[in-house]
Amino acid sequence: MPQIFHRSTNTLSRVTIFGAVFLVAALGWVGYEVQGSPYLTYAGVRKPQPVPFSHQHHVSGLGIDCRYCHTSVEVSSFAGIPPTKTCMNCHSQIWTNADMLEPVRASYRSGESLQWTRVNTLPDFVFFNHSIHVTKGVGCNTCHGPVDQMPLMYQQESLQMEWCLNCHRAPEKYLRPRDQVFNMRYEEPSTTKPVVVDGTSFTDQETLGSALLKKYEVRSVHDITSCNTCHR
């Protein structure tokens, strides 16, 4: 019987199959990288705002505590956006004629709120509560990054599920004393700079975090990684 296919067909078939496997793997890798890139997560992206508000100036320069503007962060799921009146507590006295602050003055005169662009945004199907994280000893900059060094606010982390689970699977790596939650320059304990809690000195984060897990009654890893903890 005469040979139907050329001998090179076997080689071509192998190359095609292996090539398809590598192509699918490459497409999967590209998809994974794009899915976690700033193009989709907006991490590091500075969004336009009605007023170029500088956290660096107000927090580092003037020493204003986070809670002066974000008044509900300790008691509510939402950190809160300050009303124009909060801005005018100071700016009715200083920088009263600055052009960049005219939207603030106009808002105060008209009573219409400034339309700020949300920087850290989670999908509607994700439940997040600021107050529980503050209560359990999670610092502001753990999630929001070095806000006190941001002339213009941006989202520090991806805020994707994988990032959240990294903390929920090992919360002891991230907890700090409650009185240090709003300290943007907080440093983890070390042998040269221990952290004291209830008279006990801690020289490493693992030991401190484990102690705080018990002190603040943090739920088990099984509970806080359960689907219905964040998806309700």
pLDDT at 214: 97
Are the C-beta atoms of 209 and 167 separated by less than 8 Å?
A: no
Query: Could you tell me which residues are beta bridge partners of residue 175?
Result: 138
Query: Residues 86-103: pLDDT tens digits?
Result: 999 999 999 999 999 999
pLDDT interval class at 8 (50, 70, 90): low
Q: What pTM was estimated for this model as a whole?
A: 0.84
- Helices in 151-215 by DSSP H: which ranges? 161-168, 205-215
Q: Which residue type occupies 96?
A: T
Query: Residues 181-223: pLDDT tens digits?
Result: 999 999 999 999 999 999 999 999 999 999 999 999 999 999 9
| DSSP classification of residue 198 | T
Listed in order, strand segments (DSSP E) in the chain are 195-197, 200-202
Neighbours of 126 (CB within 10 A): 13
Q: Record the tokens describing residue 135, joined without a space.
A: 């209560």
